[in-house]
């Protein structure tokens, strides 16, 4: 794997950027189709995707800068320009906030649109994680499993030194710092799980007519997916014992999904979505 798709002169086009663009494109196509199916103006989809892109990128970068505040203060330029400096949860929360703000401004039914976004978010996330795999970012702990992957050009490379110093992984002291280690390809774990999540939501979208139920289901399942994968990740943000900050946020996401689903189900048949 190599992070750059092509380099011409001083221009570098990264795989991560290409796949992130494809992720938003895939999400927009699904959102357009779902809004059309629900009898809504599908032209609104791409405007909302634009706001999601803006919130996603700014939120992901801001979250990274705050999470790595000492490094940000020490070298602000490097932190701002780092290609590894995007954190999904920051982008997700900011994108949701901006999209909800636009829906409120345009007086559109929020829960109906949230349901349309649910499968789009799952698919977009899966496509985007392919970019992380190719770039060698967000990989896991060392493993001897046959599908373990070494990232010589990763961000950073998966050497014993980087795993020890940047992620606090307890690598065997007898292993030299320069040794390139095979690690869990957690990016591919997420691709597989989120594509499965997309398939589940795509199947349920016809059956669940209560507005908001599909979106709250997405929140719970996305939180469970991230909670599981984080157990295999090489992380340096285990501020809660053995739990990472992302795992704590995942638990919160699961709770919001469960509580929201319960509220929707208690409302019974009130506020159903349009079905073909």
The CA distance from 181 to 178, in Å, is: 9
Confirm if 76 and 55 have CB atoms less than 8 A apart: no
Q: Which of 86-100, 109-123, 126-140 has the highest mean pLDDT?
A: 109-123
Confirm if 174 and 209 have CB atoms less than 8 A apart: no
Mean pLDDT for all residues in the chain: 87
pLDDT digits (tens, 9 = 90+) for 46-102: 999 999 989 888 888 888 788 777 777 777 777 676 655 667 788 888 999 999 999
Q: Is the pLDDT confidence value at 273 over 50?
A: no
Count Cα neighbours of 131 within 13 Å in the Cβ-side half-sphere: 23
At 76 the pLDDT is 77
pLDDT digits (tens, 9 = 90+) for 17-43: 788 889 999 999 999 999 999 999 888
At 171 the pLDDT is 93
Report which of residues 201 and 19 the model is more confident about: 201
SS3 content of the chain, % helix, strand, coil (to 5): 60, 10, 30
At 269 the pLDDT is 54
Q: Work out the widest C-alpha separation in the chain, in whole angstroms.
A: 64
129-138 mean pLDDT = 88
Confidence of residue 117 (pLDDT cuts 50, 70, 90): very high
Closest to 227 in 3D by CA, of 212, 242, 211, 249: 249
Q: Is the pLDDT confidence value at 274 over 60?
A: no
Report pTM.
0.86
Beta strands in 116-274 (DSSP E): 149-150, 182-183
Confidence of residue 204 (pLDDT cuts 50, 70, 90): very high
Instruction: Say what percent of the chain tops pLDDT 70.
Output: 87
Q: Please enumerate in sequence order all residues whose Cβ is within 8 A of that of 212, keeping only pairs 6 or more positions apart, or say none.
A: 111, 114, 115, 260, 263, 264, 271
């Amino acid at each position: 794997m190599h992070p750059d798709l092509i380099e011409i002169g001083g221009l570098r086009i990264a795989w991560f950027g290409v796949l992130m663009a494809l992720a938003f494109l895939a999400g927009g196509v699904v959102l357009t189709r779902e809004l059309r199916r629900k009898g809504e103006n599908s032209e609104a989809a791409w405007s909302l995707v634009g706001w999601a892109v803006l919130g996603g990128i700014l939120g992901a970068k801001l979250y990274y800068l705050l999470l790595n505040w000492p490094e940000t203060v020490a070298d602000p330029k490097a932190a701002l320009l780092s290609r590894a400096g995007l954190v999904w949860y920051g982008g997700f929360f900011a994108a949701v906030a901006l999209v909800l703000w636009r829906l409120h401004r345009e007086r559109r039914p929020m829960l109906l649109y949230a349901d349309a976004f649910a499968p789009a978010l799952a698919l977009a996330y899966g496509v985007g994680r392919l970019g992380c795999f190719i770039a060698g970012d967000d990989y896991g702990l060392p493993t001897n499993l046959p599908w373990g992957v070494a990232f010589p050009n990763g961000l950073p490379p998966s050497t014993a030194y980087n795993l020890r110093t940047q992620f606090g992984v307890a690598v065997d002291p007898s292993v030299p710092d320069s040794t390139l280690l095979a690690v869990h390809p957690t990016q591919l774990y997420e691709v597989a799980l989120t594509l499965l999540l997309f398939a589940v939501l795509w199947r349920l979208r016809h059956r669940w007519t209560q507005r908001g139920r599909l979106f709250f289901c997405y929140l719970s399942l996305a939180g469970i997916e991230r909670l599981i994968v984080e157990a295999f990740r090489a992380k340096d943000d285990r501020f809660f014992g053995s739990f990472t900050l992302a795992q704590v946020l995942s638990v919160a996401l699961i709770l919001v999904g469960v509580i929201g689903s319960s509220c929707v189900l208690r409302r019974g048949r009130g506020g159903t979505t349009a079905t073909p």
